[in-house]
Amino acid sequence: MHMSRLSRSEPFLIVTFGVLSFFILILLIPIASIFLFFKPSIAEKVFMGQELAGEVRDALITTLEASLISTLILTVLGIPSAYYLARKEFRGKSAIEGFLDVPLAVPHTVAGIMVLTGFGRRGLLGPLTATIGLRICDSFWGIVAAMLFVSSPLMIDTVKAGFYSINPMLEAVSRSLGASAMDTFFKITLPLAWKSIVAGVILSWARALSEVGSILVVAYFPKTINILILEFLNEFGLPYAVALAVPYLLLTLALFIVLRFFVGQRFSLY
């Protein structure tokens, strides 16, 4: 990259560097300050104390379980859907692709209302969800549904981009050597798109873990960790919210770093 070294004194580059520094500062201040407000004594009360610890543990488990299940469902549905979209040209394709991105544009409270009008007790498919014993309003599966709704575009779009980046001739050669379309998918396409699939999983999982707006509407109970953070802020004030937020932040960051590291190690070989 000696190009950038040559033009280091270029005034325009200096200006962009200034902007970048400012940008980093804006992001760094809140991220760093949350740690300054963190008080171990309060955290001890929150995580060990008799009054709060049980509720915190339950919320943490609910959040992790719901986000993992929603991500798992999305992976199973997302991979074949993305493959079809990446490999097939058909009339109305761009309309369908636009439709699949709708959850990105919908305000999250509205997304929550949509989940209720679709699958809630009084919703369009309410009678059906009731007969199979699936409760949405104020239930674990309501949380899963809300998470799934808001994070689905991230899964589809990321995996689709991965499939697009694979030379279709590789699949054609595999077929000509005797592999069926399904064999080819599992032996060629999937291994080559693996990085994008893991990226899709990470992004949609991160999205699910951070979701609060639609969950507030669909299922305040059982409480998820984000709702508990809000509740702590309202009832006990900032120090308690921070005490709960920081460990949650570290936990999620650690999960993503480990995953990213794993992906980088295992699949950057070619």
Partner 1 sequence: MIEIMNLKTSLGSFTLEIEHLKVEKGEYFVILGPSGVGKTILINVIAGIIVPERGRIYVDGKDITRFPPEKRNIAIVPQDYALFPHMNVYENIAYGLRLRKLPEKIIRKKVLELAKSLEIEKILNRKPSSLSGGEKQRVAMARALAVDPKVILLDEPLASLDPKLRMRARNLIKKLHDRLKFTAIHVTHNIVDAVVLSKRIGYMEEGKLVFIGTVDDFIETKYAMPYINEIEEVVKRIK
The site for partner 1 (CB under 8 A) is made up of: 167, 169-170, 172-181, 183, 187-188, 191-192, 269-270
Q: Which is nearer to partner 1, 99 or 186 (CB)?
A: 186
Minimum distance between the CB of residue 266 and partner 1, rounded to whole angstroms? 11
Minimum distance between the CB of residue 194 and partner 1, rounded to whole angstroms? 9
Q: Which is nearer to partner 1, 57 or 266 (CB)?
A: 266
Minimum distance between the CB of residue 158 and partner 1, rounded to whole angstroms? 19
Minimum distance between the CB of residue 182 and partner 1, rounded to whole angstroms? 10
How many other CB atoms are found less than 10 A from the CB of residue 116? Answer: 22
Q: Which is nearer to partner 1, 10 or 183 (CB)?
A: 183
Q: Which is nearer to partner 1, 157 or 171 (CB)?
A: 171
Retrieve residue 100's tokens.
């699949």
Q: Which is nearer to partner 1, 89 or 235 (CB)?
A: 89
Nearest to 136 by CA among 151, 108, 115, 152: 115
Minimum distance between the CB of residue 85 and partner 1, rounded to whole angstroms? 20
Q: Which is nearer to partner 1, 237 or 264 (CB)?
A: 264
Secondary structure of the chain in the HEC alphabet?
CHHHHHCCCCHHHHHHHHHHHHHHHHHHHHHHHHHHCCCHHHHHHHHHCCCCHHHHHHHHHHHHHHHHHHHHHHHHHHHHHHHHHHHCCCCCHHHHHHHHCHHHHCCHHHHHHHHHHHHCCCCCCHHHHHHCCCCCCCCHHHHHHHHHHHHHHHHHHHHHHHHHCCCHHHHHHHHHCCCCHHHHHHHHHHHHHHHHHHHHHHHHHHHHHHCCHHHHHHCCCCCCHHHHHHHHHHHCCHHHHHHHHHHHHHHHHHHHHHHHHHHHHHHCCC
Minimum distance between the CB of residue 188 and partner 1, rounded to whole angstroms? 6
Minimum distance between the CB of residue 127 and partner 1, rounded to whole angstroms? 43
- Chain-centre distance for alpha carbon 229: 19
Stated length of the chain: 270
Q: Which is nearer to partner 1, 6 or 169 (CB)?
A: 169
